Amino acid sequence: MTDASAALYRRAAVHVPGGVHSDTRFAQPHPRYFVRAEGAHVWDADGVRWLDCTMGNGSVLLGHAHPDVDAAVTGAVRDGLTTGLETPAAVSAVERLAAIVPDFGQVRFANTGTEAVMHALAIARHVTGRQRVAKAEGAYHGWFDPVWVSTWPTADQLGPQSRPGVPPSSAGLSAVTADTVVVPFNDLDATAALLREHADELAALVVEPVLIDIGYVPATSAYLRGLRELTDELGIVLVFDELLTGFRLAPGGAREVYGVVPDLTTYGKALGNGYPIAAVEGRRELMATTDPVGGPVGWVGTYNGHGSAVAAADASLAVLATGESQAYLDKLLGTLRDGFAELSARYSIPVVLAGAGGHFQPYFLTGPAGSYREAMRTDAERYATLRAAAERHHILLPGKPLLHAALSTAHTDDDVSALLAAAEEAFAQLSEST
């Protein structure tokens, strides 16, 4: 227990449930509080420097306090324009998006990924005249009622592979959650059967091209191509949730990598390098439904296109557009993957380091996970040993075995070596206990 963080927790817990403003930040015996960040590092309230391998849940692709992003945000603050008005930076950011996203249509900004999904589903419901939504088992698309189901479901909530359960991920959700159709990720035959069964009721299928909120489980190309063909055939709006894959897998995101173009796409996270901004991009005829002149689908928000956030996005996209950032992250991840493979062989402990674009997660499995059901079989106790070793080396990793770690362009080969040194300590400990 650290003195300063413990004291801050005692103060915060008086007024804040759990002392944190997002559940995933809570930890026992208390959360850790941080006061500064730069590059690949953060400093806690006791002044201890940590190597950050969470990077704002994957949003800080360019590293904390990136000079170009900071300069843009500082300039926006100095200009005094905060919110409620349109700015040149918003126009520039949109033009940069249009230049790097293949088959770009039109776009509008929001603040969070949840909001972006809400907007996308409103568009889909209007154009189809249908109400129900389909999503993949285990995927997280924010805390909006229809999609906050089957997120990290327990084994007894899964149901059969061909017809997954629809467990709510929180108490207090509306009855509409019961109308959500959950499909098995990467199982095209079962997904097709469910979509056909409910086709007359389904407005949208929202899917992450890679399930990253459970670590890193990529869709197969055949699965995404099949979804595109099915939704076209059935008149269902296909929504890609690229909050986490966007700009990391490639400048144009998963759409560029897979060559599959959805009807609507949600972006965020790396779009603002940690600043709160999200977006919905889609086919012109769909986005036209939100046009303030004659469009029937409303799109309002005081903080949409916030001055500092769009300045951050404009600066971030200028860097991300070249592809150099993504190539560098893949190089680092290749070194990390090779290191984990060597440790696995040396200590005879099965582990798969899955990832791309800087996102990664070690699964203590004998082979790659292709679905939530396979990923959830990872050995949680072994992951806890790895995370504890990382903490002893002052390295931050996600608190749960089904979350995602992340590198940034500020991380170095030395940082990867430090993480591998912590991993070796964990593997040695695990080897002794087996």
Active site residues: 140, 241, 269
**Phi, psi (deg, nearest 5) at residue 30:** -165, 160
Q: In what order do the strands lie in the sheet with 352-356?
A: 352-356, 359-363, 405-406
| Contact residues for 345 (Cβ-Cβ < 8 A; gap 6+) | none
DSSP helix/strand/coil, 188: helix
**Phi, psi (deg, nearest 5) at residue 176:** -65, -20
DSSP state of 102: T
Q: What is the DSSP string of 227-284?
A: HHHHHHHHTPEEEEE-TTTTTTSSTTHHHHHH----SEEEE-GGGGTTSS-EEEEE-H
236: amino acid identity, one letter? I
312: amino acid identity, one letter? A
What does each C-alpha distance from 358 to 59, 180, 245, 247, 266 come to in angstroms?
11, 32, 10, 11, 20
Q: Helices in 18-158 by DSSP H: which ranges?
A: 55-58, 67-79, 88-100, 113-128
Distance in angstroms (rounded) separating the CA atoms of residues 162 and 194:
8
Structure tokens at 85: 């008005």
208: amino acid identity, one letter? E
